[in-house]
């Protein structure tokens, strides 16, 4: 990626449930359509329930709903507490890049929304695993690289390909955060953005 200074630490940060709320507004979105989100396992598939029948939606239908939600609300997702002031403070010492799996056609809207919230940092759109993108970014800098994401699978894949990257698991929704299975040898778990700030500063 152009513009990465090889001498500065790099902070690669996910967006949904890390910087912007996804679960809470998505629950409201589902409720308005006669559905609700069950939080018994760490996934959407199988956990979106039809309130009238009690039946769970298929994986395909769940993915379609999440995409539809983003199409309608990507410009309106509320920011997570302390994300803006902490990232602004960290920007004095880190290069910050957002790496998001939002659909490609929505990435510019997401970048504009983040900028309007005071987070005018580059937004890189991604699909599926983030391991390759993180490896490419980490290879540009000789300084420490930190990766923050809410999905344990991304941390596992990144550690297998880029073991030098320091991974932080954070998810704003406390219910899902509690049931997320994260190996402490792979990623450090954070409870809020103040803890994220402390972990980041410890690495430089």
Q: What is the pLDDT of residue 5?
A: 81
CA–CA dist 94, 2 (Å, integer):
16
Tens digits of pLDDT across the chain (204 residues): 667 788 899 999 999 999 999 999 999 999 999 999 999 999 998 999 999 999 999 999 999 999 999 999 999 999 999 999 999 999 999 999 999 999 999 999 999 999 999 999 999 999 999 999 999 999 999 999 999 999 999 999 999 999 999 999 999 999 999 999 999 899 999 999 999 999 999 999
For helices 83-90 and 193-201, the axis angle rounded to 10 degrees is 10
At residue 171, φ and ψ (nearest 5 deg) are -140, 125
The neighbour count for residue 69, using CB atoms within 10 Å, is 17
Q: What is the pLDDT of residue 1?
A: 62
The neighbour count for residue 7, using CB atoms within 10 Å, is 9
Compute and round to an integer the Cα radius of gyration of the chain: 17
Q: What is the pLDDT of residue 6?
A: 80
Q: What is the pLDDT of residue 4?
A: 78
- The whole-model pTM stands at 0.95
Two structure tokens written together for 59: 């994986």
């Amino acid at each position: 990626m152009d513009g990465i200074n090889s001498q500065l630490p790099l902070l690669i940060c996910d967006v949904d449930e890390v910087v912007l709320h996804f679960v809470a507004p998505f629950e409201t979105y589902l409720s308005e359509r006669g559905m609700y989100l069950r939080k018994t396992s760490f996934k959407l598939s199988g956990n979106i329930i039809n309130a009238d029948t009690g039946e769970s939606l298929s994986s395909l239908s769940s993915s379609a709903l999440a995409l539809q939600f983003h199409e309608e609300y990507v410009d309106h997702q509320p920011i997570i507490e302390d994300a803006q002031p902490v990232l602004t403070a960290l920007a004095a010492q880190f290069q910050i890049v957002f790496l998001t799996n939002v659909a490609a056609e929505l990435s510019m809207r997401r970048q504009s929304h983040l900028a309007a919230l005071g987070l005018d940092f580059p937004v890189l759109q991604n699909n599926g695993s983030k391991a390759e993108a993180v490896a490419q970014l980490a290879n540009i800098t000789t300084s420490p690289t930190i990766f923050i994401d809410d999905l344990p699978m991304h941390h596992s894949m990144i550690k297998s390909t880029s073991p030098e990257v320091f991974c932080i698991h954070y998810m704003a929704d406390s219910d899902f955060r509690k049931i997320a299975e994260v190996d402490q040898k792979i990623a450090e778990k954070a409870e809020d953005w103040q803890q994220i700030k402390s972990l980041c500063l410890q690495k430089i």
